[in-house]
Amino acid sequence: MPDSRKPLTRVAHEILEQHLEPGDLAIDATAGNGHDTLFLARAVAPGGSVYAFDIQPQALQQTRVRLEGEGVADRVTLFHAGHEAMMELVPESAHGHIAAVVFNLGYLPGSDKQTTTLTETTLEALQHSTTLLAPGGLLSVLAYRHHPGGWEESEAVGEFLGRLPGFRLEIRESPGPVLFVAHRDE
Ligand SMILES: C[S@@+](CC[C@H](N)C(=O)[O-])C[C@H]1O[C@@H](n2cnc3c(N)ncnc32)[C@H](O)[C@@H]1O
């Protein structure tokens, strides 16, 4: 029985922790303040790599400082780019070998909330993620619903992931965000 009081950010990390192994490759599609990037960098150590995306320089700077402070910056490549460009930016040698892609949608906590993820580019990036993932890989999407556009985005994500052939979808609800974890078949 899932503990409904546990923050879904933590639930997502627990699911990913069970799955990721040293040497794995992972993508943080929304680096933000770098909490997920740091978590992924630790989970794939030693030997693994993380590719992280954000469109806001402020977010990338926060992430860089966090990773450097924890001594793990060398295993993370930060891209100042939208996640919709992941097919072009993640090295071709990694395509089909990514163990997990993580999205934490919405706005940057602590910012003016003007820049948020958008349904169209989120769906584009999710589509790319399905190509980049290894067999057995995980696609984790935490979607917030209480900001303008958030509800529509989370509905669109749920519909997209629910219709994906070759994936099993797990959904964790909360009064705030909703967590989608799509498990790619082996
Ligand atoms: C909720 S925050 C992410 C929190 C982050 N995962 C953490 O652990 O701190 C959402 C982030 O998505 C970023 N974002 C918005 N549109 C994006 C896009 N098209 N590609 C990549 N990042 C984007 C925002 O700039 C913001 O920093």
Domain containing 81 — which CATH number? 3.40.50.150
What is the distance in A from the centroid of ligand 1 to the CA of 105? Answer: 6
29: tokens are 């599609």
Is the model's pLDDT at 1 over the cut of 60? Answer: no
Q: Is the pLDDT of residue 2 over 70?
A: no
| Residue 108 in contact with ligand 1 by CB distance below 6 A | yes
Q: Is 121 in the pocket of ligand 1 (CB under 6 A)?
A: yes
Note whether residue 98 is domain-resident: yes
Question: Which bin fits 23, alpha (ψ -120 to 50), beta or left (φ > 0)?
Answer: left
1 belongs to a structural domain: no
Q: Is residue 84 part of a domain?
A: yes
**167, part of any domain:** yes
> Does 35 fall in a domain?
yes
pTM of this prediction exceeds 0.85: yes
Shortest-distance atom of ligand 1 to CA 121 = 19
- Cβ–Cβ < 8 Å for 145, 106: no
Nearest-5° angle of CA 141, CA 138, CA 37?
65
Asked whether residue 88 is domain-assigned, the answer is yes
* Residue 35 alpha carbon, nearest atom of ligand 1: 8
pLDDT, one tens digit per residue, over 4-45 is 679 999 999 999 999 999 999 999 999 999 999 999 999 999
Report the domain count for the chain: 1
> Average pLDDT of the chain?
96
Residue 22 domain flag: yes
Q: For residue 146, what are its two tokens?
A: 């209480």
pLDDT in tens, 107-126: 999 888 889 999 999 999 99
**Residue 53 predicted with pLDDT over 70:** yes
Q: What is the dihedral of CA 93, 35, 64, 54, to 10 degrees?
A: 60
Mutation choice for ligand 1 from 30, 42, 63, CB with most ligand atoms inside 8 A: 30
- Tens digit of each residue's pLDDT (9 = 90 or more) over 159-170: 999 999 999 999
Locus of tokens 């997920």:
36
Q: Is the C-beta atom of 141 inside 6 A of ligand 1?
A: no
Residue 132 has pLDDT above 60, yes or no: yes
Residue 17 lies in a domain: yes
- Cis preceding-peptide flag for 165 (omega within 30 of 0): no
Please state the separation of Cα 162 from the chain's center in Å.
17
Q: Which domain holds residue 24?
A: 8-184
